[in-house]
Amino acid sequence: MTSEDEWNEFIAASARALALTVEPAWYPAVRTNLATIWKLAGLVAQFELPDDAEPAPVFRA
Amino acid sequence: MIEPETSALDIARAVASGETSAVAVVEATLARIATLNPLLNAFTAVTAARARKRAAALDARRAAGDRLGPLAGVPFAVKNLFDVAGLSTRAGSRINRERPPAEKDAPLIARLEAAGAVLVGALNMGEYAYDFTGENVHDGPSRNPHDTTRMTGGSSGGSGAAVAGRLVPLALGSDTNGSIRVPSSLCGIFGLKPTYGRLSRAGSFPFVTSLDHLGPLARSAADLAAAYDAMQGPDPADPVCAQRPVESTLPLIERKAERLRIAIAGGYFRAGVPVEAAAAVAKVAAALGAAREIDPEAERARAAAYVITAAEGAALHLDRLRRRAADYDPAVRDRLIAGAMIPAAMVANAQKFRRWYRDRVLALFDEVDAILAPATPCTAPSLGQETFVVNGLAMPVRANLGIYTQPLSFIGLPVVVVPVVLSALPIGVQIVAAPWREDIALRIARALEAAGAVAAPRPAM
Radius of gyration of chain B (CA): 20
pLDDT in tens, B208-222: 999 999 999 999 999
In what helix (H) or strand (E) does residue B33 lie, and over which residues does it extend?
Answer: helix B22-40
Question: To the nearest whole percent, how much of chain A has pLDDT over 70?
Answer: 100
Q: Which residues of A touch B (CB under 8 A)?
A: 10-11, 14-15, 18-22, 26, 29-30, 33-34, 36-37, 40-41, 43-45, 47, 49, 53-57
Does B391 have pLDDT greater than 90? no
Write the DSSP assignment of B376-419 as a string of letters.
Answer: -SSSPPBTT--EEEETTEEEEHHHHTTTTTHHHHTTT--EEEEE
High-pLDDT (> 90) share of chain B, %: 96
Using a CB-CB cut-off of 8 Å, the residues of chain A touching B342 are 37, 41
pLDDT digits (tens, 9 = 90+) for B71-85: 999 999 999 999 999
Tell me the shortest Cα–Cα distance from A39 to chain B, in angstroms. Answer: 9
Residues 6 or more apart from B136 whose CB is under 8 A from it?
Answer: B92, B124, B125, B126, B127, B142, B157, B329
Q: What pLDDT was estimated at residue A58?
A: 87
Which residues on A lie below 8 Å from B354 (Cβ)?
55-56
Report whether A59 contacts B325 (CB < 8 A). no
Smallest CA–CA distance from A31 into chain B, residue: B338
Query: Which residue in the set B302, B304, B337 is minimally distant from A30, CB to CB?
Result: B337
Å from B346 to nearest chain A CA? 6
Mutate to test the interface with B, among A7, A18, A23, A40 (most CBs of B within 10 A): A40
> What is the mean pLDDT of the segment spanning B184-189?
98
**Three-state DSSP state, B217:** strand
Our CA-based measurement puts residue B112 at a distance from the nearest CA of chain A, in whole angstroms, of 30
Report the residue of chain B nearest A24, measured CA to CA.
B334
CB B213 within 8 A of CB B193: yes
Task: Check pLDDT > 80 for residue B1.
Answer: no
User: In total, how many domains does chain A have?
Assistant: 1
pLDDT single digits (tens) A8-49: 999 999 999 999 999 999 999 999 999 999 999 999 999 999
Contacts of A53 in chain B (CB under 8 A): 352, 355-356
Whole-number Å distance between alpha carbons of B358 and A55? 11
Q: What pLDDT sits at residue B231?
A: 98
**B246 CA to chain A: closest CA distance, Å?**
25
B43 Cβ neighbours under 8 A, 6+ residues apart = B33, B37, B77, B121, B122, B123, B124, B158, B162, B167
Mean pLDDT in chain B? 97
Among B31-35, B53-57, B398-402, name the one with the lowest average pLDDT.
Answer: B398-402
Contact A55 B351 (CB under 8 A): yes
Residues B338, A33: C-beta atoms closer than 8 Å: yes
The CATH homologous superfamily for domain B8-450 is: Amidase signature (AS) domain (3.90.1300.10)
What confidence score (pLDDT) does residue B461 get? 85
Q: Is A56 part of any domain?
A: no
The string of pLDDT tens digits covering residues B175-185 is 999 999 999 99
Residue B393: which pLDDT band, with cuts at 50, 70 and 90? confident
Q: Tell whether the model's pLDDT for residue A2 goes beyond 80.
A: no
Is there a contact between A41 and B299 if contact means CB atoms under 8 Å apart? no
pLDDT of residue B232: 98
Which domain covers residue A40, as residue numbers?
4-45
Q: What's the rounded mean pLDDT across residues B20-25? A: 98
Query: Using one digit for the tens of pLDDT, what is the confidence trace for B228-278?
Result: 999 999 999 999 999 999 999 999 999 989 899 999 999 999 998 999 999
Residue B2 has pLDDT above 90, yes or no: no
What mean pLDDT comes out for the span B382-411? Answer: 93
Q: What is the ipTM of this complex?
A: 0.98
Query: How do the domains of chain B map onto residue ranges?
Result: 8-450
Question: Between A and B, how many residue pairs show a Cβ–Cβ distance under 8 A?
Answer: 97
Give the pLDDT confidence score for residue B295 in this predicted structure. Answer: 84
